[in-house]
Structure formats: C-alpha cells, structure tokens
Amino acid sequence: MPLLEVNNLKVWYPVKNGWFKPKSFVRAVNGVSFKLEAGETLGLVGESGCGKSTLGRALVRLEKPIGGSFRLGNIDIAALRGKALRRARKDFQMIFQDPYGSLNPRMTIHRALDEVLQLHDNAPPEARRERIAELLKLVGLSPAQMDRYPHQFSGGQRQRIGIARALAVNPRFIVADEPVSALDVSVQAQIINLLRDIQQETGVSFLFIAHDLAVVEHISRRIMVMYLGKIVESGPARSVCSNPLHPYTRALLSAVPTVERSGRRRIILPGDVPSPINPPSGCPFHPRCPMAKPECAASEPLLERHGTDSDHFAACFFC
C-alpha cells in the first residue's frame, strides 16, 4: 500500500469577471493523480506557473482542493476538518522555498522550533529543549546556536533550520517546495545531500519540487513532469532523464547546462505558456509542440505507459 495516494486532484481559483460575465477559474492543478511510497523521494518539475507549488501546498492543506482526493496511509486528508486536521498535521509538513521569509525574524531559533513542539507534543520544556538540540545536530548546526535570531544565519543555515522545523514532529511525508532555488550552487549540493541523509536515517518520504531537472534527478527515485496543471510524463528518474518521451520534457532537458561541447541541441519552444484560465483544447502542450498534429487539438492524450520501461508514462499521441 502506498504512503500517499492522490486521485484526480483539482485546485481552481475563481476569477472575478463582473456581474454579467460567466464565472471563470484559474485551473492551477487540473486533475493530478500519483502514488508515493514510504521512504521514497518523488521529484516534480516544470516551468514557473505550471502548478507545482500549488499542488504541494494542497497536499499539506494550505490550499483547498475543489475536487479529487488524497490519502496518507488510511486517512483521507482532503476530507479532514478542524481538530482532526490539526491532529493529522504532524504526519505531513512542508519545507518552504524562501529561507529568508519562512522564519519569523522576531523569534529565536529555539522559540520557532519550540512553537511546533508545543502544538503537537505535551513534553515538558526541558525535554523539548533536548529535542531542539537533537534537531539542530541532525541538520548540521550546533545546539549552542538555538538562542540566536534568523538574521544571524546564512541562507543555507536558515534553510537547515526550516528543515529542522519540518522534522520536529517526526512526519511521515514532507513537501520540499524548491528548497534550494534561493541558494548558491555550492550550498544547494549540501542541502540536497542533507535531505538524502535525513531520509536514510528517518525513513521520511519527500515530494521534491523544483524547476531544474538536473537537481531533481540527483535526489529523486521517480520524476513527474508538470505542464499547465497536468502531469505530462512520469517514470524512474534515470529513464525520464536519459530517454524523455514527451516533447516538453525534452525541451526542459535541453536547457540543462552541460560541460560537453557536443551536448544536446537546445530546444526553443515558440510562444508563451497558455493561460490556465482558458487552457487550449486537446493536449495542453499542442500550441507550442514541434510534433503537434490536428488530432492533438481535438482530443487530450491520457497519461499512459510507453516505451520499454513498464513504469514510464507519458501523455502524448506520438511519443
């Protein structure tokens, strides 16, 4: 049984069009389904605005889905309300993108972590302080630093504190929303290696969101590629990166820097990403696809198994 099972999840935002115009919606996440195993890292990639972060926030109930379901173990998280939702939150947490904005500048690190422990744990103050010391050691910081404020730490150190906060109540599942995009390249590698070490030690599962396929390939066992609110390709990380099936995935991979002089040809996609308020008919990628044919505009391809790998799926008629 998978740890997390998502079925046809939709997150739409209403748009005000005036009194006499039909109601419209921004279809940020438009029917996403996938499974995540215990102790697994699943990568999620795509351009800015494709719905990656909205999907992650919906899975930790920071956004309200309008349709679909998602279960964590035997619990239907989408159906929880009130106290039941607050009790369940210790099983799923989030690491935010901005290490500068995700910490309260008026709180010491001890207070920021202690706030989480107080909410989900009835342990006495001494035991909570010991737990905070353990968390700081786990993420590579000194317990002696717990009484400092966020401005006294570097960006990489602040992200480590954010990771410690997410781990404070021993969650089973963590959404890592572009946790390295705001950091220097050298620090990015340190944080990714830290997440891998933490997973080996704790067995936590990650949904790792990023726009850089090279970063996602390094940490993920499987990868999903998202475009305009939908998953257009998914499969084992090595298979997706070495043998991309969907033309959109090929375009993303062509943008990854390489040291080889005879590297892959850069694919420049024409036009802009269509509006999620009025997505195109048929395949959402067909207005920009170099392989598009008339049937691509007439009907939408399903996410189906393709190629020699039984776990490699793509939503394309001609891959």
Q: Name the least confident of 14-18, 200-204, 289-293.
A: 14-18
Whether the model pTM is above 0.85? yes
Quickly list DSSP for 172-237: SEEEEESTTTTS-HHHHHHHHHHHHHHHHHH--EEEEEES-HHHHHHH-SEEEEEETTEEEEEEEH
What percent of the chain has pLDDT above 70? Answer: 97
**Residue 141 and residue 157 in contact, taking contact as beta carbons nearer than 8 Å:** yes
Distance CA 108, CA 143 (A): 12
Taking only the tens place, the pLDDT of each residue in 168-218 is: 999 999 999 999 887 888 889 999 999 999 999 999 999 999 988 888 998
Mean pLDDT of 19-36: 90
- pLDDT for 299 beyond 70: yes
- Please check the confidence at residue 261 and state whether its pLDDT lies above 60: no
pLDDT value for 309: 66
